[in-house]
Amino acid sequence: MANRIGYEERKQVYSKALCTYGMENQLIIAIEEMDELTKEICKLFRGQQNTEAIAEEVADVTIMMEQIRYIFNINDEVSAMMDMKIERLQERIQEARSK
């Protein structure tokens, strides 16, 4: 399922959030959201069936990561690094399977 709100519209919202709350506050919120996701994943390991909570926190973290990409104008760099790291992961999977 694709997002209903396109990236260009999300960037407009991120710009308004940055102007309204400031960079430092948005970065602090990013840290808090990553912590909340960590907590939900830990609950899963303790036997809680909380995939809905995990999905919510992944959405929050993803939004904050997009904001960080916007704040620092690093979208292209992040995309290039993601490609490189995914290719590296593919290589490692191939190596692990050939053992």
Give me the domain span that covers residue 25: 7-74
DSSP H or E segment with residue 3: none
Q: Is residue 90 part of a domain?
A: no
Model pLDDT, residue 47: 96
Q: Is residue 85 part of a domain?
A: no
Q: Is residue 91 part of a domain?
A: no
Tell me how far apart the alpha carbons of residues 94 and 72 are, in angstroms, rounded to a whole number. Answer: 34
| Number of domains into which the chain is organized | 1
Flag residues of the chain having pLDDT under 50. Answer: none
Residues 60-82 pLDDT 10s = 999 999 999 999 999 999 999 99
Q: Is residue 2 part of a domain?
A: no
Q: Is residue 51 part of a domain?
A: yes
Tokens for 27? 């970065």
Q: In the chain, what is the greatest distance between 2 CA atoms, to the nearest angstrom?
A: 54
